[in-house]
Amino acid sequence: MFNLLKRVSQLCKYLLVVILAVSTMTPRLVSASEQVEGDFEGNLAQQIQDFSQELRPLVSEEVEENALYSPLSYYLALLTLEPGLTGSEKERLSEVLIPEGMDRDEYVASMASFIKEATEGDEPIFDTKTYLLGREDLKWNSTYLEDTKDLATEASRVDFQDSSTYESLNEDIAELTEGLIDPYYSEARIAEMTSNDYLQIVMMNLLYFKSNWLNVFNEELNTDETFYGRDDETVVPMMHLEESIPYLEGDGFQAILLPYRNQANLLIVIPDEAADDESMWEAYQSVLEQEEEINNKTIALTLPKFESSGSFDLTNSLDAFDLSNFKEDLGETDFFTTQEETALSQILQRIELVLDEEGTSAAAVTEINIETTMAPVEEEPIELKVDRPFAYGIIYKDIPLFEGLIHNISE
């Protein structure tokens, strides 16, 4: 048993499938009944697993290299979108996001508490923030802001045609992700955004994870060994660790949970032989469904250091959730105090992950863009020519500091 995982690189001839699996206890996954917020966390875990299963095939189709995405970041972005919708559009998105049979308001309140708990303390599980950026001439609906305020949101009105809007976002993203995503907006992308006359809303979720291993790897034990990839073989730094860690052996795969200090775990699922993406996702999902079968075993682990990144257009994922009409029409919305016909034009996600001897850093940005479907109205300027006597004053908070009348102006 000690050497079952000693040569991960030999077993992992194709893709190494990983996820940051958050649990409330370590070093193993726990059932919903064992968790302090058992009912909610159990429902949340199942809801996001179901949500993620719809995304996995799309992600595999989108990439030629390694697959990496964040279900939670995308989920939180959509959860922020939902309160601004009305009618059947709101109902259908709620069906995607809210567990069946649960009260929507109670669920969102529990989610807000979950986010608060996960982002606080000396060793938070993750950090997150969702920017709500609205076109500067529109006023946010106070009801919408109230419904989203506990979901780590920050609302503002901006000039989408000013490059400094995106430069400022780049700075904020770099700060929250500790430079892991820097910059998010390239110069070409900024030029694209500033030339878009139809942009009404940008919703942007940031999710950042960083934690050391509960049992760190000794860098002095690293060796250069072959990783047998899907396309070719490469020599990479391999880390070594012998510890008692959660382990599961299934039909055609092995799996371990490598615990972090902050109570999250790295789940690694290794096929016994070459497998396609669909088979690996099936094995991965079966581990999530067999959490009660995971038990501690002494494992001699050989794990590669690696960095991975992902950049996807997730707009077509709406089709998988039966929300394809969102790309044409969002119906009546409550985002602002005034109404415009709108559509969801683009959903993008970018991910960066670094795994080494100390632990793991991972960052995600999910961007949802909403555009007006009406041509911008070119308003005729109102002519105001000050060429005759007038009254004037210098005002601060409605307090007149100076007041006067101009009858004549000297040459």
Domain boundaries, the chain: 8-17+214-306, 27-208+311-372
Question: What integer pLDDT is reported at residue 135 of this predicted model?
Answer: 97
Average pLDDT score over residue span 234-239:
93
Hey, how many other C-beta atoms are within 10 angstroms of the C-beta on 291?
18
Question: What integer pLDDT is reported at residue 376 of this predicted model?
Answer: 55
Q: For residue 10, what are the contacts with CB-CB under 8 A and spacing of at least 6?
A: 228
- Residues of the chain with pLDDT > 90: what percent? 59
Q: What is the pLDDT of residues 130-165, one digit of tens each?
A: 999 999 999 999 999 999 999 999 999 999 999 999
Average pLDDT score over residue span 368-376:
84
Q: Which residue has the higher pLDDT, 381 or 36?
A: 381
Question: What integer pLDDT is reported at residue 18 of this predicted model?
Answer: 45
Average pLDDT score over residue span 236-240:
94
- Residues of the chain with pLDDT > 70: what percent? 88
Q: For residue 390, what are the contacts with CB-CB under 8 A and spacing of at least 6?
A: 405, 406
Mean pLDDT of the chain: 86
Q: What is the pLDDT of residues 72-96, one digit of tens each?
A: 999 999 999 999 999 999 999 999 9
Q: Find the range with the poorest average confidence among 55-69, 70-84, 264-278, 290-304.
A: 55-69
Distance from C-alpha of 29 to C-alpha of 265, rounded to nearest angstrom: 8
Helix 87-97, helix 71-81: angle, nearest 10: 150
Q: Render the burial of 235-266: b for 16+ CB within 10 Å, e for the rest.
A: eeebbbbebebbbbeeeebbbbbbbbebbbbb
Burial of 64 (0-12, 13-18, 19+ CB in 10 A): exposed
Distance from C-alpha of 178 to C-alpha of 175, rounded to nearest angstrom: 5
> CA dist 282 to 24, 168, 233, 275, Å?
24, 41, 25, 11
Q: Find the range with the poorest average confidence among 150-164, 277-291, 377-391.
A: 377-391
Question: What integer pLDDT is reported at residue 28 of this predicted model?
Answer: 41
Topology annotation, domain 27-208+311-372: Antithrombin; Chain I, domain 2 (3.30.497)
Radius of gyration of the chain (CA): 26
Question: What integer pLDDT is reported at residue 17 of this predicted model?
Answer: 40
The whole-model pTM stands at 0.84
CA atoms within 13 A on the CB side of 269: 23
Domain 8-17+214-306 in CATH: superfamily? Alpha-1-antitrypsin, domain 1 (2.30.39.10)
Nearest residue to 133 via CA among 80, 191, 177, 67 = 80
